[in-house]
Amino acid sequence: MKLLKTFGGVATFVAIGVVGWVYFQAEQVSPYDVEAIVKERAEGVHVGNIAPSFTLKTLSGTQDGYLPRPGNTIIHFFATWCYPCQEEMPFIVRLHEQLRAQGDTFLAVNLTHEGDRQSDLSAFLNHFEATFDPVLDERGDIQQLYQIVGIPTTIVIGRDGIIEDRITGALSPQMIDQWVSF
């Protein structure tokens, strides 16, 4: 009987030790893994981040912006006085039409606070026969949010809301063809 009590006590002690060890190991691994996953997919403006949402007034006076939605999204920052923006605009117009045809989203952000007047913007879009209605970044909030330091800048967002590419500078037809097929 004494041997049975001793064995029971040892077994209980070992069981408590095993449970404690398993608990300690779980505490050591779990927070690290969660932090790594959260850090990897945190909201931000770089490739691999979740694209931050925003809403602004458009040139036509409605509201639009980036909100997670079905399909891929391309956000394009530009200004009418920007020479590379002028040079690439025929390609941008084509990109908008092709994305719309395949059910994806194109969102143009005009850096209105940089000196673009709405009348100049309307004339600019008419000249290139653009049918998109750009949002107006009148205070520079979205430029700051997305850390835009040069224009044009294009942000490519996948179906999952993750930024897949970020290009500062004029787009080439080859880049546009690559995105239209994504």
Interval 58-66 mean pLDDT = 93
Please indicate, yes or no, if residue 48 is contained in any of the structural domains: no
Please indicate, yes or no, if residue 47 is contained in any of the structural domains: no
From 99-103, 123-127, 136-140, the region with the lowest mean pLDDT: 99-103
The CATH number of the domain holding residue 62 is 3.40.30.10
**Residue 72 identity (one-letter amino acid):** N
Please indicate, yes or no, if residue 93 is contained in any of the structural domains: yes
DSSP state of 112: G
Q: Name the pLDDT band for 169 (thresholds 50, 70, 90).
A: very high
Please indicate, yes or no, if residue 46 is contained in any of the structural domains: no
CA R_g for the chain: 26
| Structure token pair of residue 74 | 């391309």
Q: Is 94 helix (H, G, I), strand (E, B) or coil?
A: helix
Q: Can you tell me the distance from the alpha carbon of 44 to that of 49, in angstroms, rounded to the nearest whole number?
A: 5
Identify whether the C-beta of residue 17 lies closer than 8 Å to the C-beta of residue 23: no
Q: What percent of the chain has pLDDT over 90?
A: 59
Q: Name the pLDDT band for 174 (thresholds 50, 70, 90).
A: confident
Strand pairing category for 135-136 and 105-110 = parallel
